[in-house]
A and B are shown apart, each in its own frame.
Chain A
Amino acid sequence: MSNTTELVTKDDTAVSRRAGDPAQRRITVTPPVDIFEDSQKVTLWADLPGVTKDRLNIKVSDGNLSIEGESVVPTPTGLRLLHAEVPQPHFARAFSLGADLDASKIDAILKDGVLKLTIPRREEARPRRIEVHAG
């Protein structure tokens, strides 16, 4: 198994999206992620603080996985912002999935603002041992 890009983190969809579609051209925050792969699956963890289940949108189309979420922080009326390290509450990030990953079986868990995505490898793409029979 080579160590190349089964799951390419290059966000080429963001280039086309930002240039082409004016409706989508709002400023978003790129959430930090951890991505691990073992022989069965790829696991992705993303920090999405303040994002609730119904404000999270995970889409797979044309082999691209996109994660979008909106952070909702209840604030009292009349709030004046004094210091903002998170100026935009919109999170967005996209990845392209390799053909060996089974996008139809993605499992997503959101807990305490952390998204865990499990993307299994296709059955036929999993490493296996081939028995050699003596002839």
Chain B
Amino acid sequence: MSDLFFGSDLFNEFDRLQQMASLFNGFPSSIRSGRFGTFPQINVGSTDDSIEIVVFAPGIDPKALDVSIDKGLLVISGERETVRPEAADDTRVYARERFAGTFRRVVELPEQADPDKVTARYTDGCLAIRVGKKETSKPRAITVQ
């Protein structure tokens, strides 16, 4: 019960509040980005020639991960199996906070994304997806005549 007042949960809440605050101050979030606490969490960034998406999805067999692009939407889906041991009589559960089950996250890709130039790599529980940008959309210097 003491966790209600002290402990990690309280700081979790602070962290969450900070995230909420930064959400309101920052960019408008995508209608498809969902609420905080979803699994897996996603960071999106961009460079001059690519869009970089990092999916924080630990403990998943890469074969069970499905990444697809359809009509400008990047869809990441898969399943994470529970680690719960066999239900023996003497097994007690103290915490079950980790996500288990099927998941699906959708990222809206910008107009200039090239669906033919996608690479995905899973290392240490992070799925890094790189979507190239179309040649025409890359920044370039224009010579003044």
Query: Is A30 part of the contact surface with B, judged by Cβ < 8 Å?
Result: yes
Chain A residues contacting B3 (CB-CB under 8 Å) are 9-10
State in angstroms the CA–CA spacing of A3 and B92 once bound together. 8
> How many chain B residues have a CB neighbour from A under 8 Å?
52
Q: Determine if B42 and A45 form an interchain contact, defined as CB atoms under 8 angstroms apart.
A: no
Q: Determine if B92 and A112 form an interchain contact, defined as CB atoms under 8 angstroms apart.
A: no
Measured CB to CB, the nearest residue on chain B to A55 is B124
With both chains docked as a complex, state the minimum distance between the C-beta of B125 and any C-beta of chain A, in angstroms: 2
Query: Is A60 part of the contact surface with B, judged by Cβ < 8 Å?
Result: no
Contacts A3-B92, A87-B19 hold; do A73 and B128 have CB atoms under 8 A apart? yes
Chain A residues contacting B128 (CB-CB under 8 Å) are 73-74
Q: How large is the interface on A (under 10, 10 to 19, 20 to 34, 35 or more residues)?
A: 35 or more
Q: Determine if A34 and B98 form an interchain contact, defined as CB atoms under 8 angstroms apart.
A: yes
State in angstroms the CA–CA spacing of A116 and B19 once bound together. 28
Which residues of B in the span 39-57 have a Cβ within 8 Å of any Cβ on A? 40-48, 50, 52, 54, 56-57
Q: Which of A12, A33, A116 contacts B6 (CB 8 A)?
A: A12
* A-B contacts, 19 listed (Cβ < 8 Å): A9-B7, A9-B94, A11-B8, A33-B98, A36-B84, A36-B92, A36-B93, A38-B88, A47-B99, A49-B124, A71-B56, A77-B47, A79-B46, A80-B47, A83-B30, A112-B59, A112-B60, A113-B126, A116-B83
